[in-house]
Amino acid sequence: MKLFNLHKQAAIAACFAFALTNLAKAQSDTTKSPETETTAEDEDFSMYDEVGFADKGAKRYCSPKIEGLSPAKLISLGFDFQGPYKLNLDAFNNNINEGWAENNKHTITSGARFACNIPVISKTSVVWQMGANYWESGYQMMKQGPLAVGYVENPMLKSLYTNGLRTMGINTTLFKPLSDKKFLLFQGSADMSGDYNWKLMPARYMKYSAALIYGKRPSERKQWGVGLARTYRAGELNYIPIIFFNHTDAANKWGSEVLFPARAHVRRTINSRNMLFAGYELEGQSYRLYRMESIRNQDLEIRRAEIRLRAVYEFSLKDFIWMSVQAGYRINYRYDVDRLTNGKEIYRAFGLLSDEPYIMQNTLTNPFYFNVSVNLVSP
Amino acid sequence: MKKILFIAFAAFFGTILSSFVNQDAAGDRLIGVWEPSNGRARVKVEKIGAKYYGKIVWLKEAVDPVTKQPKTDKNNPDPNLQNAPLKGYRMLKDFVYAGKDEWTEGTIYDPLNGSTYSCTIKMTDKNSLEIRGYIGVSALGRTDIWKRLEVKKK
């Protein structure tokens, strides 16, 4: 019995000592105050100047971003408005009897835009994102002059006003660092563009674009690269060289974000949550005219491209929710129509490889435009 | 009989105690100095109470190129903290060891934009961490690989 009591007392003493030790430890911990954001005053940091990797085979890789860059958008929902402007349609040539000239159609173009880019793999050695986008362009006639007796609307114009144009696609981005200063960047996309509705067009009308860039990141504030792109940004298929250049000055007030010729902007950083941009973007796509039965089998595609000179203000509404407001001037670069005989793509190479004429050459006057979007930005 | 009961009780208590100690030891593998993939900073992880915290102990660019003074947390949304030195700043906070080489319930702060993200840490081997910062759900995030550093004795 005595032995049991001794054991009992020893156990109680051990528990008491254990509790006291923990209490003392907790008290000493609270003196460090984990809520204090900084501990700079009580430590000599020079000991961390000389270090080496514990794993001798470890490598350093360059990051896809630089300091001061505008945040990448994970999800974006926006609205785009152009106009009013005058739409002048040429007559179809090349023996397509259903099309005739239409002039001075006062028009506005507007529509919703949605895009998302979700990281699939996000590691030091590789970053892979997949995305999807949906843009619509609704065409609305502002005023209609007196019409001749027996007037029949040009079927393309009718399709624009009743169906509008849509682009829906998926895209992928792969960033592969080669070292702590060099990287490869690949972007690819498959888009379906046309006057379709929820009943989509056949997959053979998809357009494929891609770009490959070899780049360097010589410092925390600069990255540049050169590459080649297959693109429809100028409305029709092109293979073009591209230049990539992002830069931020030492004060993090000014910078540039350039992917020439697609876009180029000068950035003014007010603070890390408020940024202003001035520059341009070249937007374009090739739209299949599919809905109107009278012209469906003619293999017609609108080669639409426009240059948007603009000022953009991007700011944080709350935490990771950002708003982007842009306003500018839309310059029509091309709104012509090609006939793709048997679906065969035309590659003119700016007239060097082919001088095949367009079926229809149209002119649009240049209006002001604005675009607003709400975005969830990436860490 | 009482003696047997006591021994059984002590063994049970000892097992529980040792499992806590083992859990502690497993969690403490996070303690050390780590380098994010961009090599821009070095972060020392330490344990305070039952939680793990990481503070910046080295910066590749320690001096602000404009003010010529040590860098401060100028992007912090709290104006009271914008003059706090970045060296010593706790950018990892409140991590708890959840077992299976994972530390959860913590946050990571990005001094480049002044944002704080939810964060989980996974140790893939004794010298590598996968640090995943995310917004709301883990799918909306980014993973960075941090490597353990050995501090050379002076």
User: Which run of H or E residues covers position A26?
Assistant: helix A2-32
**Is A337 within 8 Å of A359 (Cβ atoms)?**
yes
Would you call B33 and A119 a contact, using CB atoms and an 8 Å cutoff?
A: no
At B83-119, the pLDDT tens digits run 899 999 999 999 999 999 999 999 999 988 888 999 9
Segment A266-282 shows an average pLDDT of 95
**Is A233 within 8 Å of A308 (Cβ atoms)?**
no
Q: Assess whether pLDDT exceeds 70 at residue A109.
A: yes
Of B42, B126, B139, the CB nearest to A48: B42
CATH class of B2-149: mainly beta
**Residue A213, SS3 per DSSP:** strand
Of A32, A51, A119, the CB nearest to B33: A51
Segment A339-351 shows an average pLDDT of 84
C-alpha distance from A7 to closest chain B C-alpha (Å): 8
Give the mean pLDDT of chain A: 85
- How far apart CA B2 and CA B123 sit, in angstroms, is 46
At A43-94, the pLDDT tens digits run 778 888 888 888 888 888 888 989 899 999 999 999 999 989 999 888 776 5
Segment A217-239 shows an average pLDDT of 95
- How far apart CA A340 and CA A348 sit, in angstroms, is 13
**Is B106 within 8 Å of B96 (Cβ atoms)?**
yes
pLDDT of residue A90: 83
Identify the CA nearest to B38 among candidates A45, A67, A37, A252.
Answer: A67
Higher pLDDT, A94 or B78: B78
pLDDT band at B141 (very low <50, low <70, confident <90, very high): confident
pLDDT of residue A35: 47
A73-377 has CATH 3.30.420 classification: no
The domain segmentation of chain B, as residue ranges, is 2-149
Of A48, A58, A122, the CB nearest to B147: A58
The domain segmentation of chain A, as residue ranges, is 73-377
Instruction: Show residues of chain B in contact with A3, CB under 8 Å.
Output: 3
Would you call A272 and B113 a contact, using CB atoms and an 8 Å cutoff?
A: yes
How many C-alpha atoms does A138 have within 13 Å on its Cβ side?
Answer: 11
Q: Assess whether pLDDT exceeds 60 at residue A32.
A: no
Q: What amino acid is encoded at A139 in this protein? A: Y
Segment B40-63 shows an average pLDDT of 93
